[in-house]
Amino acid sequence: MSFRLTKERNGSPVPSRELAYVLHKNKNTVENLERLEQLLVQDPTFNHEKMNYLTRGEQYKRAMQMSAKVEIIARRNRLGDEDTEQLRLIFQGITSCSASTTLHTLMFIKNLGLLFTDEQQKKW
């Protein structure tokens, strides 16, 4: 975090933590977002500092690796659908990489799910 931003936050009469609680509607939501963010930050796969120096093909390959890792982390931690979606959004926010699988995840899987009966969805 930049020095100027820290200085501004310290000078504010409203604590930034309390403001986060208001913006996200409650304390639990903020803590959940921080927990999900830590899952990504602690993994070296999401170090994206050199992305701008890679060729377009290498950037795509790297973004696919990171997208796959997000899904692996979600399954490994047994995250629900809502938390998995939040994890994807956090990934895009911290890396500035849009997931190469976003269209697939947002449209194809959900629309495909509408074609199945409840019994079939449980099985698959």
Kindly report the three-state secondary structure assignment for every residue of 13-78. CCCHHHHHHHHCCCHHHHHHHHHHHHHHHCCHHHCCCCHHHCCHHHHHHHHHHHHHHHHHHHHHCC
Give me the average pLDDT of each 10-residue run along the chain (124 residues).
Answer: 80 86 91 94 85 86 88 94 90 75 69 82 76
Task: Tell me which CATH code domain 3-123 carries.
Answer: 1.10.540.10
The per-residue pLDDT for 50 is 84
Domain boundaries, the chain: 3-123
The per-residue pLDDT for 48 is 78
The per-residue pLDDT for 123 is 78
C-alpha 14 chain-centroid distance: 27
The per-residue pLDDT for 12 is 84
Give the pTM.
0.69
